């Protein structure tokens, strides 16, 4: 056991080359928020390794642009698009149903990258149509619903030897001495930055708690949390319809030496999704925190607290009116 841990540690420290991923032919991944930023570049890396990638987003035009760009940049890529607004539970359920219904190329799902998010949060508190605070609903609650909707499909695709995976998007902001996530919909006080950090704390807690519950229910699906450090558009290659920063943004972003491109940031997310040496419940991100090659890291304080995790999970169950189908997923996997 100790030897296996040591070997894993050595392997996990080995450099990760996004251009030389394990062969992913025959596998199928879903990426939310895939029309731009990290989601787009993660999709490119997955498709470049031979995976079939379902690019999901809320705008048909932006999705079509990303689809065209990816096909042009990755010859032979196998991709399709799925319309889904992650702040809208109805949209999530409809998209998940079409996926489960086999409308897509293959009825398997090897992993889902729960990436979509609002980074530039609104100045004032906004609500979704069903009355949830927008940042929390988009970054955290929507993915709680989506992961539940896809759990049985992920479990069916998994085998005892090879688990399938869900990856949640954390953030280094959750290490910056932030408060315990109590008022998770900012009902008492709204602050744009605080709303973002809190949503990411909730995501981090959900990602780790999901893994504990999956293990307890014997479901062969792993839940992992990853973050991209500080990844910005002005340091990222120009991709028509996907990333077209102006000269001023390029200049400004180049003056931030601790930042990296979104293409580089996507490597941590992809490693968390496909590296066979990653384990459920782990947290992955760039070596130098804001930039660098992906390495395993220590989770942020609140996400490591089991009481906080259980409370956050119960609150998401209450707000969505749903429980994850652990027993059904375990049966589907047998």
Ligand X SMILES: NC(=O)c1ccc[n+]([C@@H]2O[C@H](COP(=O)([O-])OP(=O)(O)OC[C@H]3O[C@@H](n4cnc5c(N)ncnc54)[C@H](OP(=O)(O)O)[C@@H]3O)[C@@H](O)[C@H]2O)c1
In the complex, the residues that contact ligand X under the rule CB under 6 A are 33, 35-39, 57-59, 62, 85-87, 115-119, 138-139, 169, 171, 227-228, 230-231, 262
Query: Minimum distance between the CB of residue 316 and ligand X, rounded to whole angstroms?
Result: 16
**Interatomic CA distance for residues 165 and 154, integer angstroms:** 7
Query: Minimum distance between the CB of residue 130 and ligand X, rounded to whole angstroms?
Result: 13
Contacts of 99 (CB under 8 A, 6+ apart): 30, 54, 82, 109, 150, 153
**Interatomic CA distance for residues 6 and 247, integer angstroms:** 47
Between 49 and 118, CB nearer to ligand X: 118
Between 109 and 137, CB nearer to ligand X: 137
Between 109 and 169, CB nearer to ligand X: 169
Query: Minimum distance between the CB of residue 84 and ligand X, rounded to whole angstroms?
Result: 6
CA angle 189, 314, 324 (to 5 degrees): 130
Return the C-alpha torsion angle 36, 210, 78, 14, nearest 10: 90
Between 241 and 325, CB nearer to ligand X: 241
Neighbours of 316 (CB within 10 A): 23
Q: In the bound complex, which residue of the shown chain has the CB atom lying closest to ligand X?
A: 37
Between 107 and 320, CB nearer to ligand X: 320
Query: Minimum distance between the CB of residue 4 and ligand X, rounded to whole angstroms?
Result: 31
Query: Minimum distance between the CB of residue 20 and ligand X, rounded to whole angstroms?
Result: 23
**Interatomic CA distance for residues 271 and 25, integer angstroms:** 16
Query: Minimum distance between the CB of residue 274 and ligand X, rounded to whole angstroms?
Result: 17
Between 116 and 333, CB nearer to ligand X: 116
Total residues found in the chain within this entry: 334
The pair of structure tokens assigned to 328 is 């059904």
């Amino acid at each position: 056991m100790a030897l296996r841990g040591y070997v894993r540690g050595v392997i996990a420290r080995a450099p990760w080359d996004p251009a030389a991923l394990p062969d992913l032919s025959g596998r199928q991944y879903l990426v939310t928020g895939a029309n731009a930023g990290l989601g787009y570049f993660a999709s490119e890396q997955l498709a470049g390794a031979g995976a079939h990638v379902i690019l999901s987003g809320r705008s048909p035009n932006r999705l079509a642009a990303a689809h065209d760009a990816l096909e042009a940049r990755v010859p032979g890529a196998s991709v399709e698009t799925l319309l889904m607004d992650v702040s809208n539970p109805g949209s999530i359920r409809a998209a998940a149903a079409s996926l489960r219904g086999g409308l897509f190329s293959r009825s398997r799902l090897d992993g889902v990258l729960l990436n979509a998010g609002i980074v530039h949060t609104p100045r004032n508190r906004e609500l979704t149509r069903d009355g949830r605070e927008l940042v929390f609903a988009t970054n955290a609650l929507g993915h709680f619903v989506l992961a539940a909707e896809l759990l049985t499909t992920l479990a069916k695709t998994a085998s005892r030897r090879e688990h399938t995976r869900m990856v949640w998007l954390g953030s280094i902001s959750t290490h910056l001495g932030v408060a315990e996530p109590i008022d998770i919909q900012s009902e008492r006080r709204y602050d744009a930055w605080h709303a973002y950090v809190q949503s990411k704390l909730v995501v981090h807690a959900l990602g780790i708690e999901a893994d504990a519950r999956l293990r307890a229910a014997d479901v062969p699906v792993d839940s992992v949390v990853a973050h991209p450090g500080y990844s910005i558009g002005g340091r990222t290659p120009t991709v028509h319809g996907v990333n077209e920063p102006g000269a001023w943004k390029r200049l400004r972003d180049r003056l931030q030496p601790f930042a990296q491109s979104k293409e580089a940031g996507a490597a941590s997310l992809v490693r968390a999704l496909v590296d066979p040496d990653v384990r459920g419940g782990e947290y992955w991100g760039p070596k130098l925190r804001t930039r660098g090659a992906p390495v395993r890291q220590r989770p942020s304080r609140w996400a490591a607290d089991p009481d906080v995790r259980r409370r956050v999970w119960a609150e998401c169950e209450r707000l969505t009116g749903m429980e994850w189908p652990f027993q059904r997923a375990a049966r589907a996997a047998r």
